Amino acid sequence: MLILGIESSCDETAAAVVQDGRTILSSVIASQIDKHKIYGGVVPEIASRLHSEAIVGVVQEALAQSGKALGDMDAVAVTYAPGLIGALLVGVNFAKGLALSTGLPLIPVHHLRGHVASNYLTSPGLEPPFLCLVVSGGHSHIVQVEDYTKLKIIGRTRDDAAGEAFDKAARAMGIPYPGGVELDKIAEGGDPDAYKLPRPRVDGAPLDYSFSGLKTAVLNILNNAKQKGEEVRVPDLCASYRKAVVRSLADNFMKAAQQTGAKKLAVAGGVSANRLLRRELTRLCQETGRELFLPDLSLCGDNAAMIASQGYYEYLAGGTAGMNLNAYANVPLDVDAKDVKGEGRR
Ligand code: KG4
Ligand code: ZN
């Protein structure tokens, strides 16, 4: 089964052709990052406009690179939630137009379920059940993937997402947006024990995360140094901060693995590209006899191949939508598209 996937939830316009949920025939990503950089973050209105301008060309390019025609497709899968509403609407309306004019089935895909599916593309042998750490710019969840379309959140962040925590600390250190990527690189040359940072914990919820305290600690270090006229060693602060965030992510994730008895673990979302997170989880899984699945670096960030992959499994589970499909800014990943009501604030 050939699925054309479309993704436009944030600042990447992407399209891809994937066979049977596992084989990428093409994957095209048009990033808008350079246009948002000068503002220090994604500007929603600009994002929507750029998606509208790029989407036709990106879809055409994905079809051309796959060596297939639109008539060869069996379905269209599109990210319908969560994300910037104006950005999502561009992809959803384009996919609806395609489905209407070709008669192809339309499959709504949850963006975070798509991130989980980046592991199916990287590891052909991976099948649920497994435990997945979903860490992106907007979300940090520990998820029990019971089946391809049956997911349960057992840990979540109470404030900032992991990617957001990296981006905000980077910004405070003067590293340009999106700082998480750059902070990770700079940290490689720093001393992770140079600065003492707190160990965040959420009382009564051992699997939940909280990163705002760590961010405040970094701001305090920067402000104190400024007041005293001292210089902050940025690589050391990057390394210390990265160590603290990764330790928190890994601690709770391994705790969850122990609690649930999970032997297969996976990571997904933009932060799954983090070098230290990958190294730490590889070490911890080796030590505890667990199998670890990491997405290929090319599939960690937003892309449409992961949407087409998850779309295949949503289709097999009967998850198609009609022309009344809407986009939603907030939908938890354990809610099916057919059950989303009203504004999707469930
Ligand atoms: O999944 P993603 O591409 O977009 C969302 O769905 O949010 O995640 C983007 C986030 C950004 O916050 C970015 O800074 C972070 O992932 N990120 C990283 C790294 N690469 C991307 N954070 C830490 N280390 C990295 N290597
Ligand atoms: Zn994402």
pLDDT in 10s for each residue of the chain, 346 residues: 999 999 999 999 999 999 999 999 999 999 999 999 999 889 999 999 999 999 999 999 999 999 999 999 999 999 999 999 999 999 999 999 999 999 999 999 999 999 999 999 999 999 999 999 999 999 999 999 999 999 999 999 999 999 999 999 999 999 988 899 999 999 999 999 999 999 999 999 999 999 999 999 999 999 999 999 999 999 999 999 999 999 999 999 999 999 999 999 999 999 999 999 999 999 999 999 999 999 999 999 999 999 999 999 999 999 999 999 999 999 999 999 999 976 444 3
Q: Whose CA is nearest to atom 20 of ligand 1?
A: 181
Q: How far apart are CA 112 and CA 80, in angstroms?
A: 11
The residues, ordered by sequence, that sit 6+ positions from 292 with a Cβ below 8 Å of its Cβ are: 265, 266, 267, 281, 282, 285
Q: What is the pLDDT of residue 8?
A: 98
DSSP label at residue 74: S
- Counting from 1 in the atom list of ligand 1, the atom nearest the Cα of 180 is 14
Q: How far apart are CA 113 and CA 5, in angstroms?
A: 13
Q: Is the distance from the beta carbon of residue 79 to the nearest atom of ligand 1 less than 6 Å?
A: no
Amino acid at 173: M
Alpha carbon of 180 to ligand 1 centroid (Å)? 6
Amino acid at 133: L
The Cβ of residue 149 has, within 10 Å, a number of other Cβ atoms equal to: 19
Pairing relationship of beta strands 140-147 and 130-135 according to DSSP bridges: antiparallel
What domains can you pick out in the chain, each with its CATH number? 2-116+302-339 (3.30.420.40), 128-299 (3.30.420.40)
| Alpha-helix runs per DSSP H in 67-200 | 85-102, 111-122, 162-172, 179-187
Q: Is the distance from the beta carbon of residue 184 to the nearest atom of ligand 1 less than 6 Å?
A: yes
Closest to 197 in 3D by CA, of 149, 247, 235: 247
Burial 87-126 (b: 16+ CB within 10 A, else e): bbbbbbbbbbebbeeeebbbbbbbbbbbbbbbbbbbbeeb
Q: How far apart are CA 332 and CA 337, in angstroms?
A: 10
Q: Please list all protein residues whose beta carbon sits less than 5 angstroms from ligand 2, which is an ion.
A: 136, 302
DSSP label at residue 157: B
User: Residue 265 region, left (φ>0) first, then alpha (ψ -120 to 50), else beta?
Assistant: beta
Q: Is the distance from the beta carbon of residue 42 to the nearest atom of ligand 1 less than 6 Å?
A: no
Q: Whose CA is nearest to atom 16 of ligand 1?
A: 270
Q: Is the distance from the beta carbon of residue 181 to the nearest atom of ligand 1 less than 6 Å?
A: yes
The residues, ordered by sequence, that sit 6+ positions from 173 with a Cβ below 8 Å of its Cβ are: 179, 183, 218, 222, 232, 234, 237, 238
> What is residue 29's three-state secondary structure?
strand
Q: What is the pLDDT of residue 346?
A: 38
Q: What is the pLDDT of residue 342?
A: 61
Give the mutation target among 115, 136, 214 for probing the ligand 1 site: most ligand atoms within 8 A of CB.
136
Predicted TM-score of the model (pTM) = 0.97
